[in-house]
Structure 1
Amino acid sequence: MSHPGRPSFPVRAVRNWRLPHSPRSAGRARALVRAQLAEWKVATEIAETAELLLPELMSNAIQHARRPSGREIGVRVARYDGRLRVEVADANCALPQARTATTEDEHGRGLAIVIALAVSWGCCPRRYGIGEATWAELELPPSA
C-alpha cells in the first residue's frame, strides 16, 4: 500500500539511516548523505542543494519530534525517475507549517528554504509507527 507523498513507482536506489534525536545528528546525516550521493555520482550542484535541504528537515524534526517516543530520527535518500528525494521521519504527527520569519528571528526559515530550493516537497505518515516523514525532491539530469 502506498502512502500519500511516497513514490508509487520503483525506486532505483535508496539508503536509510536511524540517528539519535540530537542536534548533532543533523551534521551526521549531512555527512552520510554526502557520502552516499558521491557513491551514486550525483552532480555536485544537486548534491550540495540536497546537503543544504537535509539539515533544514533534520532541524525541524529535532525541534518538534515527540520525546521519549521520538528517540530516533529516520533519514532516507532515494533516487528514482529523474528525482532525488531526501526525507526525514520523526514522531511528530503535526504537519510542518511555513512561516514568515522577521529579521530579528533566529529560527523559522528552514521550511522557506526547502520550498525555495526543492522541485517539490511534502509530508506523509511514517511507514511504521507514530509520526510523519517530511521530504524534498530535486531533479536529476537525464544521465543520472
Structure 2
Amino acid sequence: MQKHQKTLNGVEVVRRWTCHPRSVRLARAELSRALAAWALTEIEDAALVVLSELVTNAVRHARIPSGREIETRYALVGVGLRIEVHDAAEARPRRLAVGADAENGRGLALVEALADEWGISDRVGCGKAVWAVVSAAPGVGRSESAGVAERVPVGGTGG
C-alpha cells in the first residue's frame, strides 16, 4: 500500500496509498506513529478521526483514473498538525444535511467539529487537496524553541 515516503526536516510526512478501503487503516497507523514522534499524542484522537474521514471520502467518492493514488501529508504547524489528503478527482466534497437515521454523510461535519479549520485547495495538475488543522492546547507538544512554531509550507496547495 505505501508507495512513496518523504520526510522534510522531520516536520512533514508524505505517503501515497492505493484507492482501497484498507488504506484508511494504514494511513491512520502512519499518522499515529508521526504524532508519537512529534510528541503530539494529545491530539491523536481528533487527528485520527479527521484523517479517517478525509481518506474515506477520497476512497469512496474520488473517481480517480487508473494508476493514480491518494496522497496524505502530515505537517507540523505551530502546536498542531495540518492533515492533507490529495486525490486526482476534480469533484469537491461538500457537507451534507442528513437525517438522524442516516448511515452516511456525517464525515465533513465531524471534520468541522474536530478541526480548528479545514478547506479544499487546488493542486498543480489535476485534482484537489482536502486539508484540516488540528491543534493542541497551548504549551502542549513541540515548543517554539524546538523550531517548529512557524507554519510549515506544505506542497504548494495554497490552503
State TM-score, norm by structure 1. 0.83
**Which residue in 1 is equivalent to 2:135?**
139
State the distance in 2 between where 1:22 and 1:86 align: 19
Q: CA RMSD in A?
A: 1.8
Note the alpha carbon deviations across 1:47-103, whole angstroms, 9 max, x for none.
121011101000111112123247310001000223311110011212221112212
Q: Equivalent of 2:54, from 49, 52, 57?
A: 57
Q: Check whether the contact 1:70–1:90 (CA below 8 A) recurs between aligned residues.
A: no
**Which residue in 2 is equivalent to 1:33?**
31
Q: Percent identity?
A: 43
- SS at 1:41's partner residue? coil
C-alpha spacing 1:61/1:70, structure 2 compared with 1 (3 Å): farther
**Which residue in 2 is equivalent to 1:71?**
68
Q: Equivalent of 2:13, from 15, 23, 26?
A: 15
Q: Check whether the contact 1:21–1:73 (CA below 8 A) recurs between aligned residues.
A: yes
Gaps of 5+ in 2: 1-8, 143-159
Following TM superposition, where does structure 1 have runs of at least 4 consecutive aligned residues deviating by more than 6 angstroms?
none
1:83 to 2:49 alignment: no
- SS at 1:16's partner residue? strand
**Which residue in 2 is equivalent to 1:8?**
none
Q: Check whether the contact 1:70–1:91 (CA below 8 A) recurs between aligned residues.
A: no
**Which residue in 2 is equivalent to 1:129?**
125
Q: Check whether the contact 1:17–1:74 (CA below 8 A) recurs between aligned residues.
A: yes
Q: Number of residue pairs matched?
A: 132
Deviation of 1:12 (Å): 7.3
Gaps of 5+ in 1: 1-10
Highest Rg: 1 or 2?
Answer: 2
State the distance in 2 between where 1:93 and 1:12 align: 31
- SS at 1:100's partner residue? coil
State TM-score, norm by structure 2. 0.76
Q: Check whether the contact 1:122–1:136 (CA below 8 A) recurs between aligned residues.
A: yes
State the distance in 1 between where 2:66 and 2:28 align: 23
State the distance in 2 between where 1:38 and 1:22 align: 26
